[in-house]
Amino acid sequence: MVYGKTCFKVDRESTVEGESNIKLAYLKRNDMTVEVVASKEKQPISNPIEHLRNIGKTYLVIVVDNLDRAIADLDRGGVEAKLPPTSFPEIGIRLAIIEDNNGYSIELIQPIPKDNN
pLDDT tens by residue, 54-100: 655 556 788 888 999 999 999 988 888 999 999 988 888 899 999 88
pTM: 0.54
Starting from the edge strand earliest in sequence, which strands make up the sheet with 19-29, in order?
9-16, 19-29, 32-39
Q: 2-116 architecture in CATH?
A: Roll (3.10)
What residue spans of 1-117 are helical by DSSP H?
2-5, 48-53, 67-76
pLDDT tens by residue, 12-42: 788 767 767 777 777 777 766 676 767 665 5
**Residue ranges per domain, the chain?**
2-116
